Amino acid sequence: MRAAIVGCGSIAHVHAESISRLDGITLAAFADIIGERAQEFANKYGGNAYVTLEEMLAKEKPDVLHICTPHYLHVPMMLYALKHGVHVFSEKPPVISKQQLDELLSHHPEKYLGFCFQNRYNPSICLVKKLLESNAAGNVIGARGIVTWERDASYYTESTWRGKQATEGGGALINQAIHTMDLLVYLLGTPRSVDAVMHNHHLKEVIEVEDTLEAYIRFPDAGAVFYATTAYCDNVPPLIELSCENRTIRIEDHAVTYYYRDGRIETPKLPSVEALGKDYWGSGHMSCIADFYQSIRENSRFTLDLAGTQDTIRLMLASYESARTQKEIFIDNVV
């Protein structure tokens, strides 16, 4: 198969490196509005460089397109590529508005459409998912997800799209903490409602979007508290904690810790997996991307398709609606 990447920023390096390690996949082309950036990728990985998606697809006719562009371009580029017979693997977020979600739901592609929620493939998450399915920890009573990262003014001013509602779609939640929200959904099931608030604490004169969002999320059997901010002084690994009947499970960085009710503490040994990007992005990119290509080869379903990520998408959109309206939002109403 032949692969192409549109958008040659920092996350594209992770996609390119992952693809380059897969057997039977050729990196054929790169596109970026800054031609020099696309050329740098072509020099390193081979293939050709372009300044527009349209020209790249017309001339290269790749089998798969990786979308690593600013948020507002994800859905238009997905639809364009799918219409032209190309499988699509897109960076998060899948959408930035309910209107974009409706556009995707009304489109029935014959080609594969997948999303990069790579942290589902982290060894720590795989272990905890199996543990919950076995019911060895008992029912989940409650949960929390915490993301405290640093994004200063220069992070926004060095780009033309970050920090703007129309092009980023939001701030700390949609850009940074959506992965942790997705993991809560993955581990706890379809959310029922969310009650959220958001603030801009430290960049009031710089960005239009939130630097902090906190929420209470009601799942079928448990409530979860969620906190995300980019106003911290450092980028530390997100924390997910599940309080279960028989133990508390804490996931932090690449470690899992069990806190038993009798006071015992256990840290199970996990396999070491190389993180191809920043360490706090998780180590699942390679496995996630490989799984997407394997699904195409075998004509089997890729679990992180639109249906498989729709609960996370709806929860994200409902969180913003709740914060804007100052009301609890029931997820079924986000249709």
User: Does pLDDT of 138 surpass 70?
Assistant: yes
**Same domain, yes or no: 96 and 129:** no
Between 74-83 and 98-105, two packed helices, what is the crossing angle to 10 degrees? Answer: 10
**Same domain, yes or no: 73 and 193:** no
Q: Indicate which CATH number applies to the domain containing 19.
A: 3.40.50.720
Q: Report the domain count for the chain.
A: 2
Of the residues 55, 86, 117, the one at which a domain ends: 117
- The answer to whether residue 140 is domain-embedded is yes
- The answer to whether residue 79 is domain-embedded is yes
pLDDT one-digit tens code per residue, 48-82: 999 999 999 999 999 999 999 999 999 999 999 99
pLDDT one-digit tens code per residue, 152-211: 999 999 999 999 999 999 999 999 999 999 999 999 999 999 999 999 999 999 999 999
Determine if residue 170 is left, alpha or beta; phi over 0 gives left, psi from -120 to 50 gives alpha, anything else beta: left
Q: Indicate which CATH number applies to the domain containing 138.
A: 3.30.360.10
**Same domain, yes or no: 59 and 158:** no
**Same domain, yes or no: 178 and 88:** no
The Cα diameter of the chain in Å comes to 65
| Predicted TM-score of the model (pTM) | 0.96
CB atoms closer than 10 angstroms to residue 24: 7
**Same domain, yes or no: 236 and 138:** yes
**Same domain, yes or no: 139 and 245:** yes
pLDDT one-digit tens code per residue, 291-313: 999 999 999 999 999 999 999 99
- The answer to whether residue 100 is domain-embedded is yes
The DSSP symbol for 176 reads I
- The answer to whether residue 166 is domain-embedded is yes
Count helices and strands (H / E) in the chain: 11, 15
Torsion of CA 189, 211, 66, 38, to 10 degrees: -170
Q: Looking at residue 279, what is its pLDDT?
A: 63
What range defines the domain where residue 129 resides? 119-258+303-333
